[in-house]
Amino acid sequence: MLGKLIKYDLKALCRYVLPLFAVLIGSSIALRICLEIFGFEGAGNNVFVSIIVFVVAFVYVISLLGCGFAVYIIISINYYKSLMSDRGYFYLTLPVTHDMHLVSKLLSGALVIVLAAVAFILSFLPLFVGNIALPDILKFVGDIWDLIRTYLLDKNGVLIIILTVLVALFGTQIVIYFCITVGQLIPRHRILGAFLALIGHTILSRTIAAIFTATGFKSLGNLYTIDIMAATFSDIILATISYYLIIYAIEYVVTRLVLKYKLNIE
Amino acid sequence: MSIIVEARDLTKHYGSDIAVDHLDLTLEKGQIIGLLGPNGSGKTTFIKMINGLLTPTSGMILINGEKPGVNSKKVISYLPERCALPDWMRINDLVKMYCDFFADFNKDKARTMLADLHLDEKKNYKTLSKGNREKVQLILCMAREAELYCLDEPIGGVDPAARDYILRTILQNYNEEAAVLISTHLIQDVESTLDRALFLKEGTLVLNDTVDNIREQRGKSVDALFREVFAC
Amino acid sequence: MWDFTDDKPIYLQLTEQMCLRIANGTYKPGDKFPSVRDIATEAGVNPNTVQRAFAELERSGIVCAQRTAGRFITEDCDMIYKLRENLAKEHADNYLKKMASLGYSRNEAADFLSKVKEEL
């Protein structure tokens, strides 16, 4: 059942997300083609040409910047529409638990976010292929990896990476679903309610994380040397991420409870 | 006579607004029951509680002895008053989706009914007229071999010919192991198909009797009685 | 085909209309009786109501239920003839009552019928 839910959630998301990626990669290819045809200098000379190049570049940059943002908007709208609009009458009468609904949304959302990241990276290819050599790119990636490895990949490193991925993929979604679900508790002011929930979440989670981080620092006492700082730096990062994950877990539970007991589809 | 739905002192408040007020009733298998009452009388609220879309403020609603949940949703086929299906799919995609989620869905029956009503499966649900969309929703609902059918205003938005077809389908589908709950305003059209009539007034059950009894004891149709009870 | 009024239970009206069809030969003696489902869908009537009507017919003996084979109209032609007569008597009674309300006596009403039967 869960697999089927995910299938249909993905279908619903891809309807909007795939065209977005198509525009992203397509405009990147178009930009590259333009630059090839007219050359970097040619674009500056002819007004007509420079307008075309400008428009294409504009579309590309906007889709780059908006890509992540748009994906989250699509995910949010899908959540709201399938569980809280008229469609809720259908989805919530399917023989699945509320947990399955949430997990399906989270997994399908996570997949789409990953696809967005891939599309983001892929969109650079048309622009850089042939211009920048592959070895250069690999060296660049290798350098960053070394940095990460030195400072983060100590005993906690792998854990930090896993948790960061979890936060990126799922935590952000949970916050959105939490805000939307709690927001609809206020009849007729659902959007306002969602914003209030978001504000509440931000204040509360940042406050708690700050408290724990500060107490963490305090307990380190007078250790100022860089190495020891670095050694415990990852501890602090780990602690911070863990606290966020606890908050996300709480928000998941609250979301599920509100869905089950306090949902008011109109 | 096995009971499929039982409401015990069922109450639902929205703040100070009482939608359903201490409802006590049972629905039995093998019956077609009419849930009748004006707008705002609590019919849809009651049906939503049966389907687990709302939780009661107090009291209980039991389906086959259990609270609404995954098990009850497996055996209840719900037709809401509004168009609830994802409208970006084609009709045959919707059929496939029902097959995916409902073990008791009879694909062949659905296809036959769609053909009877001249609905092209390849068409996009969004492009259909409102009446046709309601017909599709109803067909998908009736093609399930459920233990309880909850139909909220099934004939309100369709033309008289389709109305006849729908009522005939409900009768043809009849089996002793299933109950059909029809919530409607169009009492005259459905009266002969009903076993039992429930009158709901401002959340309270004011009448729970068989259609035969009502006619025998009061010498008038359910429709006429309704007009009396709910006279404005 | 099936016409129901508001004031009487439907199962009674069904019983009457079925008797009518048996009396006028639409359903012939010995014929297999249509199923509950068929009548229910045809008449737009709840199957339990149809069941009740059938039970009435069985009780009166017009329809006999044979365990495995189903329901059949009785082959007792006398019974059917009597049924037809009874229905006809009801119509006659109705006619006489209505004529009485116009001021005709029973003899006058009978004569009137003979006179007028050619024209109608």
As a whole number of angstroms, the distance between CA B74 and CA B145 comes to 10
* pLDDT score of B78: 96
Q: C11 to chain B: which residues are within 8 Å by CB?
A: 212
Answer whether C touches A (≥3 Cβ pairs < 8 Å).
no
Cβ-nearest to A96 among B70, B76, B83: B70
| pLDDT tens column, B35-63 | 999 888 899 999 999 999 999 999 999 99
Domain C10-75, CATH class in plain words? mainly alpha
Amino acid at A168: A
Banded model confidence at residue B71, pLDDT cuts 50, 70, 90: very high
Q: Are A160 and A237 in contact (CB under 8 A)?
A: yes
* pLDDT score of A153: 61
**Average pLDDT of every residue of chain B:** 92
Q: B14, B67, B70: which to substitute to probe chain A, counting the most A Cβ within 10 Å?
A: B70
Cβ-nearest to C6 among B174, B212, B224: B224
Question: Per residue, what are the HEC states of A55-100?
Answer: HHHHHHHHHHHHHHHHHHHHHHHHHHHHHHCCCHHHHCCCCCCHHH
Cβ–Cβ pairs < 8 A, chains A and B: 58
- Cβ of A12 within 8 Å of Cβ of B86? The answer is yes
Q: B78 to chain A: which residues are within 8 Å by CB?
A: 89, 93
- Cβ of B84 within 8 Å of Cβ of A96? The answer is no
> Token pair for residue A21?
């990626």
Residues 19-38 of B with CB under 8 A from C: 30-32
**Average pLDDT of every residue of chain C:** 86
As a whole number of angstroms, the distance between CA A90 and CA A101 comes to 12
Question: Per residue, what are the HEC states of A110-172?
Answer: HHHHHHHHHHHHHCCHHHHCCCCCHHHHHHHHHHHHHHHHHHCCCCCHHHHHHHHHHHHHHHH
Angle ∠(A116,A118,A121) on CA atoms, nearest 5: 110
* pLDDT score of B92: 92
As a whole number of angstroms, the distance between CA B180 and CA A219 comes to 68
- Cβ of A8 within 8 Å of Cβ of B97? The answer is yes
**Min Cα separation A8/chain B (Å):** 8
Q: Is C26 on the interface with B (CB under 8 A)?
A: no
Residues 213-232 of B with CB under 8 A from C: 215-216, 219-221, 223-224
Q: Are B77 and B71 in contact (CB under 8 A)?
A: no
Where in the sequence is the domain holding B31, given as residue range(s)? 3-229
**Min Cα separation C116/chain B (Å):** 36
* pLDDT score of A178: 93
Residues 153-192 of B with CB under 8 A from C: 164, 167-168, 171-172, 174, 192
Which residues contact residue C41 at a Cβ distance below 8 angstroms, ignoring those fewer than 6 apart?
B168, B171, B172
* pLDDT score of B225: 92
Distances (CA, A) of A133 to A45, A137, A172, B217: 28, 7, 36, 94
- Cβ of B53 within 8 Å of Cβ of A95? The answer is no
Cβ atoms within 10 A of the Cβ of B190, count? 26
- Which stretches of chain B sit within 8 Å of chain A by CB? 51-55, 69-71, 73-74, 76, 78, 80, 82-86, 88, 97, 100-102
- Cβ of C46 within 8 Å of Cβ of B192? The answer is yes
- Cβ of B164 within 8 Å of Cβ of C10? The answer is no
As a whole number of angstroms, the distance between CA A138 and CA A152 comes to 20
Residues 50-79 of B with CB under 8 A from C: none
**Min Cα separation B168/chain C (Å):** 5
Residues 32-91 of C with CB under 8 A from B: 37, 40-41, 43-49, 52
Cβ-nearest to C44 among B192, B195, B211: B192
* pLDDT score of C2: 83
Distances (CA, A) of C71 to A18, C19, C36, C55, C62: 63, 14, 10, 11, 10
As a whole number of angstroms, the distance between CA A235 and CA A150 comes to 14
End-to-end, the C-alpha distance of chain A in Å comes to: 26
CATH of the domain at B98: 3.40.50.300
What b-and-e string marks burial along A99-113, b requiring 16 or more CB atoms within 10 Å of the CB? ebbbbbbbbbbbbbb
Identify the weakest region by mean pLDDT among A3-17, A34-48, B7-21, B198-212. A34-48
| pLDDT tens column, C34-81 | 888 889 988 889 999 999 999 988 888 888 877 777 788 877 778 888
As a whole number of angstroms, the distance between CA A185 and CA B169 comes to 39
* pLDDT score of A154: 63
- Checking if the pLDDT of B117 tops 50, the result is yes
Banded model confidence at residue B75, pLDDT cuts 50, 70, 90: very high
| pLDDT tens column, B168-188 | 888 988 888 999 999 998 888
Residue numbers in chain A where pLDDT is lower than 50: 222-226
State the alpha helices, DSSP H only, in B51-90.
70-75
As a whole number of angstroms, the distance between CA A134 and CA B146 comes to 61
**Min Cα separation A253/chain B (Å):** 18
- Cβ of C49 within 8 Å of Cβ of B192? The answer is yes
| pLDDT tens column, A89-122 | 999 999 999 999 999 999 999 999 999 999 988 8
Query: In terms of pTM, does the model score above 0.80?
Result: yes
* pLDDT score of A151: 65
End-to-end, the C-alpha distance of chain C in Å comes to: 24
* pLDDT score of A181: 92
- Checking if the pLDDT of B160 tops 80, the result is yes
Cβ–Cβ pairs < 8 A, chains B and C: 57
- Cβ of B82 within 8 Å of Cβ of A89? The answer is yes
- Cβ of A95 within 8 Å of Cβ of B102? The answer is yes
Give me the residue spans of the domains in chain C.
10-75, 78-116
For residue B164, what is the nearest residue in chain C, using CA coordinates? Answer: C44
As a whole number of angstroms, the distance between CA C91 and CA A48 comes to 97
Cβ-nearest to A93 among B78, B86, B97: B78
* pLDDT score of A12: 94
- Cβ of C4 within 8 Å of Cβ of B32? The answer is no
* pLDDT score of B15: 81
**Average pLDDT of every residue of chain A:** 82
> Token pair for residue C25?
């030969």
* pLDDT score of A226: 47
**Min Cα separation C59/chain B (Å):** 19
- Cβ of B53 within 8 Å of Cβ of A4? The answer is no
Q: Which chains touch C (3 or more CB pairs under 8 A)?
A: B
- Give the ipTM of the model, two decimals please: 0.91
* pLDDT score of A225: 46
Cβ-nearest to B193 among C8, C9, C44: C44
Cβ-nearest to B51 among A12, A93, A264: A93
State the alpha helices, DSSP H only, in C1-120.
10-23, 36-43, 47-60, 77-102, 106-116
Q: Are A101 and A9 in contact (CB under 8 A)?
A: no
